[in-house]
Amino acid sequence: MGYKIPGEKIEGRFIKRLNRFEAIVEIEEKEILCHVPNTGRLRELLLPNAKVFLVRSNNKNRKTEWTLMFVEKNKGLVCINSAMANRVLESAIKENVVKLEKGVLKREVSFYNSKFDFFIDGNEKTFIEVKCATFEENGIAKFPDAPTDRGRRHIEELIKAVELGYKAKIIFVAFMDCVNLFTPYKEMDEKFALTLKKAKEKGVEVIAYRCSIELDEINVIDKITVEL
The separation between CA 112 and the C-alpha centre of its own chain, rounded to angstroms, equals 23
CATH 1.10.1040.50 correct for 84-226 = no
Rounded CA separation 195/161 (Å): 15
Residue 113's pLDDT is what?
85
3-79 with 84-226: one CATH topology? no
Residue 107's pLDDT is what?
95
Query: Quick one: DSSP state of residue 200?
Result: H
Residue 222's pLDDT is what?
96
Residue 165's pLDDT is what?
97
Domain boundaries, the chain: 3-79, 84-226
pTM, two decimal places: 0.95
Consecutive sets of 10 residues in the chain, 228 residues long: mean pLDDT of each? 94 97 96 96 96 92 93 96 97 95 94 93 96 97 96 97 98 98 98 98 98 98 97
Residue 61's pLDDT is what?
81
Residue 116: CB partners within 8 Å, gap ≥ 6? Answer: 108, 109, 110, 127, 128, 129, 154, 157, 158
Residue 62's pLDDT is what?
86
Which CATH code is given to the segment(s) 3-79?
2.40.50.580
